[in-house]
A and B are shown apart, each in its own frame.
Chain A
């Protein structure tokens, strides 16, 4: 039983997204069930980039509504704001989520309104602009977490 548990903990420690944090910090965090200080998951920005490409693909190839409705609406409601808010490194997930949703919808309103006022109305272009915004923010986060920019400690606490 002890060996099984040790293997489980080792598997957790072997996750690639934890490589940037000192192993002893991760081991201590694993022992308490919490994430170590400074530990940032690389997965979310990569997911932002990937999901942007997917929803743009859906729209460009005119996928049926049954396939793309939920992913596109979810993307528009969450992802652009989340990508931007993660740059601020808020400390609790609940606040991060609600600020992300509000910011996503606000960015959507502003982009749609600009397209409307300039006479460039196109839902696909609107989505593309939001994907670009989200991807830029995700790229900045990725670059920062890989040491290309100054990195700040970001202990998170649960809400």
Chain B
């Protein structure tokens, strides 16, 4: 090697002297913000979580850190010549950690009780090697629970509880990687992809990323569509087809002033051989098979999206939707009989009833106390704002000649789910979630590509938009934290029950917000007295306990807050109920802590543990 070449190589290794300070400043933003943010979150107190959720406990330092991160990212992404990809990725990683790690850092226990239940399902499979489809419909799709059972036992762990708290952070880190690749495949400008990822993170407030089948299946959804978009799009742009004479379409285009330039992001060819593509198709089928075995809704969403991709001629494997449909129906026919044999009306009752589904997905969810209603309405408005911005972004891309039929099809495909069923009133959230990656790309179209004279204005827009989304994230995602958190006292009472109640005993609670069933799902009977907005009468509680042998009544603060905030029960109903329970003389307290108490009936109840 000549000395000139080596000198040139050495010069490359050094920072350019003029930009050295700027580079050091840019690279220092992510670690400094991460340290500041974690310090701020560690200092926050869980007791300050109020009716609006986590937002009231967050210190101003966190917002300042996030603002600095936003400015750092926007400056880097719009830098002339482009910033190093590792620098941009570091910003995104820090954003994910601070947004989705806020709850696990502040709260002492993992949030969201459905995740606890999933741990209990996996625990049952690990202990018995069987499923319980009669106990819960989710056991008809046991793939995720079986995987968790196998992995945790092979790893020597007693259960999956250690995975619960930080699962959202891990899942979202995987999501952003897939979303970046999706955005890159559907955008002609790399800035658009980075901005789409940056906007996706705070816009993904839906909360379907907790430890459960839907979180893993969302990754399957993203990866499967990524593979199809990157490797199975048409080989080359078919100019002849695009410019064929189509009177109606041409007239419409002229009417709404749509230009018809070529697709900037169309794939120009596929360098992979048949063997590689075959291998990728095997990946698609294996991932989809795992999806059908582990979740009810995601395979349907995937099949619909792929079908639309084929319809708009953006997927070369035209038979794929048929194959996917056959796999879904096959799994439903053979593996989920215990579920659908008694619930056909529940499954197909809403078919075509879009208004009914919308009603149960949006209108009926506006319940509970005034603060909870504000949070729900805020979520609806936020979703509508994202969709509106995405629609405008699609229009902008179309006007700029960068329209991509695949992107619009994938953003719209999840809305077809509205014609199927309400999915327990959650379907709108799921539609938002499935459409979000593509909506984010369309929203990013407002910011990139950018012309030089408008750079400062666009940067300002980017900062304002991402700051607004980040601020909204804390209310939309953590707005229910007053009852979605798990309190130590509630868990201690449940632990006491498991330690003292014999198998076969019934556990009775006033409402369903109790951290139980994370183990022993089959050993005890679990029942709740009232999950509606009416106050609970002590006679109803007594009847429930008398109907079960050796029943224990557990009353806890988590139930009271859930009843008031989510169910809309009158304020103070919990303490009033407890006063009635004590005053009736028919219950005896066998356990108590600051947050929870356990009672048994004095006449027929049997106390298996010591009094406290």
> Hey, which bits of chain A sit against chain B, CB under 8 A?
1-2, 5-6, 9, 27, 31, 33, 55, 58-59, 62-65, 68-69, 72-73, 76, 84-85, 87-89, 92, 94-95, 97-99, 101-103, 105-113, 115-116, 119, 121-124, 126-127, 152, 158-159
- 9 extra interface residue pairs, beta carbon distance < 8 Å, beyond A73-B155, A99-B227, A110-B290: A59-B154, A76-B151, A88-B280, A98-B174, A99-B223, A105-B147, A113-B293, A115-B129, A115-B150
Are B178 and A109 in contact, with the CB atoms below 8 A? Answer: no
Are A106 and B154 in contact, with the CB atoms below 8 A? Answer: no
Are A63 and B156 in contact, with the CB atoms below 8 A? Answer: yes
Are B146 and A99 in contact, with the CB atoms below 8 A? Answer: no
22 contacts between A and B (CB under 8 A): A2-B6, A9-B1, A27-B1, A55-B154, A76-B154, A84-B283, A88-B280, A92-B181, A94-B181, A99-B283, A103-B286, A106-B287, A109-B144, A109-B147, A109-B293, A110-B290, A112-B149, A113-B143, A115-B146, A116-B130, A123-B150, A127-B150
In the assembly, what is the distance between CA of A47 and CA of B131, in Å? 36
Q: What is the minimal beta-carbon distance from B261 to any residue of chain A, in angstroms?
A: 27
B226 within 8 A of A: yes
Which residues of chain B are near A85, meaning CB under 8 Å?
Answer: 283
Which residues of chain B are near A152, meaning CB under 8 Å?
Answer: 273, 276
Residue among A6, A27, A88, A108 making CB contact with B151, cutoff 8 Å: A108
Are A95 and B151 in contact, with the CB atoms below 8 A? Answer: no
Q: What is the minimal beta-carbon distance from A21 to any residue of chain B, in angstroms?
A: 18
Most A CB within 10 A of own CB, among B126, B272, B273, B290: B290
B126-177, CB < 8 A from A: 126, 128-131, 142-144, 146-147, 149-151, 153-158, 162, 174, 177
Contact of A112 with B147 at beta-carbon distance under 8 Å, contacts A68-B156, A98-B178 already known: yes
Q: What is the minimal beta-carbon distance from A135 to any residue of chain B, in angstroms?
A: 16
Which residues of chain B are near A115, meaning CB under 8 Å?
Answer: 129, 146, 150
- The main secondary structure of chain B at its interface with chain A is helix
Residue among B5, B174, B180, B280 making CB contact with A31, cutoff 8 Å: B5
Chain A's closest residue to B8 (CB) is A31
Residue among B5, B150, B219, B287 making CB contact with A126, cutoff 8 Å: B150
Are B156 and A69 in contact, with the CB atoms below 8 A? Answer: yes
B543 within 8 A of A: no
B423 within 8 A of A: no
Contact of A113 with B223 at beta-carbon distance under 8 Å, contacts A73-B155, A106-B289 already known: no
B216 within 8 A of A: yes
Residue among B3, B273, B279 making CB contact with A2, cutoff 8 Å: B3
Chain A's closest residue to B231 (CB) is A90
Which residues of chain B are near A97, meaning CB under 8 Å?
Answer: 177
In the assembly, what is the distance between CA of A1 and CA of B6, in Å? 9
Which residues of chain A are near B226, meaning CB under 8 Å?
Answer: 95, 98-99
In the assembly, what is the distance between CA of A63 and CA of B291, in Å? 32
Which residues of chain A are near B144, meaning CB under 8 Å?
Answer: 109
Are B156 and A106 in contact, with the CB atoms below 8 A? Answer: no
Are A106 and B280 in contact, with the CB atoms below 8 A? Answer: no
Residue among A98, A116, A158 making CB contact with B223, cutoff 8 Å: A98
Residue among A31, A55, A76, A113 making CB contact with B146, cutoff 8 Å: A113
Are A110 and B273 in contact, with the CB atoms below 8 A? Answer: no
In the assembly, what is the distance between CA of A62 and CA of B223, in Å? 35
In the assembly, what is the distance between CA of A99 and CA of B282, in Å? 12
Are A2 and B7 in contact, with the CB atoms below 8 A? Answer: yes
Chain B's closest residue to A128 (CB) is B154
